[in-house]
Chains A and B, each alone.
Chain A
Amino acid sequence: MILELMIALTIGAGLFAVGLYGALSQTNLVMIIMGVELILAAALVNLVAFWRYLHPDEPAGQMFVLIIMAVMAVEMAVGFAIAISRFRSRGSVEMEEARELKG
């Protein structure tokens, strides 16, 4: 059981590393969002693994995962909406050019 858990956590860590690299290295907004999604997916994998192997009789873990998935969907919708809106107004989603958020 510990072994399976370790495998799942390793997969989660790998996913997280890929997502982090993507988020930090890409300049395209869509790609950054995808990186962030990967990071979140890594967290979900870990969560599911802990629930499945350590507390399988606790339904709260499943519910937590489902809520996070719903939030991810919403967040993605907002993120892509921003990307589309920016593409329409500026013709590009390159974040190196977007400095309007500077205070």
Chain B
Amino acid sequence: MTMLALTLLSPLLAGLALLALRRAPEMIALAGIGLGFVAALAQLAGIAGGETVQIILPGLPQMPLRLIATPLTAVFSILVATVAASVVLYAVGYMRGDAERPRFFGTLLLFVAAMQALVLAGDWITVLAAWELIGFASYLLIGFWHGRAGVASAATRAFVYTRSADLGLYVGIFVLIGWAGTSEISATLAISGTPALVAGLLLLIGAMGKSAQVPMQDWLQRAMAGPTPVSALLHSATLVAAGAILLIRAAPMLPGGALLAVGLVGGVTAVITGLIALGERDLKRLLAASTASQYGLMLVAIGAGAPIAALLHLIAHAAIKSALFLGAGVFQHDRNGTGLEILAGAGRARPGIFAGFAIAALALAGLPPMAAFFSKDAILAAALGSDAAPWLLPLALAGSVLTGAYMGRALNVLWAGAPGTATAPVPLLAAGMGVLVGLAAVLGFGFGALEEFLSVEVEKPGWIVPAMGLAVGLGGLALGWFVAPARLLGPLLAPSQNGFAIAGGMDALILRPSLAIAAACERLERALFDAVMAVGRINLSFGRAARSADTDAIDWAIFGFVRRTFALGDRARRLQSGFIHRELALTVIGIALIAAALLAAPLYS
């Protein structure tokens, strides 16, 4: 229990301390990550006896937060800790001289802590929280050099793609919790039938986003804008692995339909991103496409009903791919770029690094006796043995051929050009990379023990499967080494270099409708604006009419009346003289007139 807490807390606290103190970044980072690694190792040893360790923390009502160390989660945990430790060791050398190292290492440690929380999570709420945290931390890490052109947009793209897919994860998890009535993962895995199918497909969507499966593979290549150690970490054991880890943990629940969907998505991704990798002109982007392709193979294994094969390949791939990225980072330092033309011959200048890179590349292609040989055989065997073999096996084989081909091409490019001048040795970089290359080479021999530890049995393939695997691996390597991709891909070259415009799927599904809605909103807005303006104009004309009526009619009438009254008064005043005699005389005349009128009455009545 202590070890479980320590696995999670040591990178977390180290990261927070780093962000708060902002000094001695390398020391704190190495201490935090090293302690986490030791704790993960101790935890693995601790549960070897078969018992599971669990920490229950108060969370939502009736849904406590759980951290759980089963054999499976402990293996994930040690995998994350190992890769993270190597990457941090490498990053100490790689980031030397960068002014923002505290921010870099702090974010990196938080990222590792979030990933540990994800793999050790015992309930779906924790999964969601950790999922969000790794998404956010990866956004920060990819956008680390946010001042450079295109980096911020790459980070935003990665964030938005994975976030869109997270919607599936959310709904899937809510379906699971709602159906099972509890958020505990092991309890929800017992459900079956339609809810399991629905939840499985929704989880697949979430995993597709994080693991960069077609049609959401585009963000992964753009995420290469981040520092190389970040790429190594994201691609091997953490961010991208999160999708596969989610599916591996949920695999016992998935019904046949969901498994088939998982397998087909994985197979299609393995082939398409393999083609993209072959057509790529940038080493890091090639490796990124390769990552998506390898995770496609893992999904094939899950779809074929062999999540342990997927787990083995995940572990093998984690070591191999991080080693490859670290090697690519060294070459990048030498040549100040990652374009394949720029890197031509870079391997000759550093034979040691190139040897490590080559071992990892051959391991990825599936040559014995290295790690991916065993795991790829397990995947091929699972694909062969599954009900959907007619679909899954060809896709898996094609993915493997392509794996060999693009690795062969990368090796060819790195070796064939002019060596250029050798530069200063890079001991820290080499140390971090060496650990991973060593693991990539020998991990395969530990798979038997691992299966025993997890108490599962991967079916031992007959001679046909290793033969097939070896044939496609060697064939692919030969093709990649000797044949230029332009000839190899033929008419597929241009589309593969454009990412098959499958990101266009994203565009067509989300971007264009959004733009159409925006345009419609704009039209509505204009119509509303015009209507409002028309109402305003009508009111203005009313006002004008009222004003003119006021001045022209009412005022005219009133003031005219007033003027007439004044004039009348003036006239009446002229009669007034002030002489009493005259007034009297007028009175007499008036009376006389009245009298005359009265007297004359008989005349006119």
A residues at B contact (CB < 8 Å)? 20, 23-24, 27, 29, 32, 95-96, 98-103
Task: Compute how far the CA of A96 lies from the CA of B577 in the bound complex, rounded to whole angstroms.
Answer: 11
CB closest residue in chain A, given B569: A103
Residue numbers in A under 8 Å from B585 (CB-CB): 24
Residue numbers in B under 8 Å from A20 (CB-CB): 588
Residue numbers in B under 8 Å from A95 (CB-CB): 579-581
> Does B96 count as interface, using CB distance less than 8 angstroms?
no
Task: Compute how far the CA of A86 lies from the CA of B573 in the bound complex, rounded to whole angstroms.
Answer: 24
Where chain A touches its partner, the secondary structure class is loop
Residue numbers in A under 8 Å from B572 (CB-CB): 103
Residue numbers in A under 8 Å from B579 (CB-CB): 95-96, 99
B residues at A contact (CB < 8 Å)? 572-573, 576-581, 584-585, 588
A4: shortest Cβ distance to chain B, in Å?
Answer: 24
B364: shortest Cβ distance to chain A, in Å?
Answer: 122
- Of A23, A24, A29, A100, the residue contacting B578 (CB under 8 A) is A100
Q: 19 interchain pairs (CB within 8 A)?
A: A20-B588, A23-B584, A24-B581, A24-B588, A27-B581, A32-B580, A95-B581, A96-B579, A99-B577, A99-B578, A100-B578, A101-B578, A101-B580, A102-B576, A102-B577, A102-B578, A103-B572, A103-B573, A103-B576
State whether A98 touches B588 (Cβ < 8 A): no
CB closest residue in chain A, given B575: A103
B595: shortest Cβ distance to chain A, in Å?
Answer: 12
- The 5 A-B pairs with the shortest beta carbon distances in the complex, nearest first, are A102-B578, A99-B578, A103-B576, A103-B573, A95-B580
Where chain B touches its partner, the secondary structure class is helix
A17: shortest Cβ distance to chain B, in Å?
Answer: 12
Quick one: which of B572, B576, B581 has the most chain A CB within 10 A? B581
CB closest residue in chain B, given A32: B580
Task: Compute how far the CA of A77 lies from the CA of B573 in the bound complex, rounded to whole angstroms.
Answer: 30
State whether B573 touches A98 (Cβ < 8 A): no
Q: A96-B579, A99-B578, A101-B580 are in contact. List 12 more A-B contacts (CB 8 A).
A: A24-B581, A24-B584, A24-B588, A27-B581, A32-B580, A99-B577, A99-B579, A100-B578, A101-B576, A102-B577, A102-B578, A103-B572
State whether A98 touches B581 (Cβ < 8 A): no
Task: Compute how far the CA of A95 lies from the CA of B584 in the bound complex, rounded to whole angstroms.
Answer: 12
Task: Compute how far the CA of A99 lies from the CA of B578 in the bound complex, rounded to whole angstroms.
Answer: 5
CB closest residue in chain B, given A96: B579
A83: shortest Cβ distance to chain B, in Å?
Answer: 12
Quick one: which of B572, B580, B585 has the most chain A CB within 10 A? B580
Task: Compute how far the CA of A32 lies from the CA of B577 in the bound complex, rounded to whole angstroms.
Answer: 18
Residue numbers in B under 8 Å from A101 (CB-CB): 576, 578, 580
CB closest residue in chain A, given B588: A20
Task: Compute how far the CA of A29 lies from the CA of B573 in the bound complex, rounded to whole angstroms.
Answer: 24
B291: shortest Cβ distance to chain A, in Å?
Answer: 112
Task: Compute how far the CA of A20 lies from the CA of B585 in the bound complex, rounded to whole angstroms.
Answer: 10
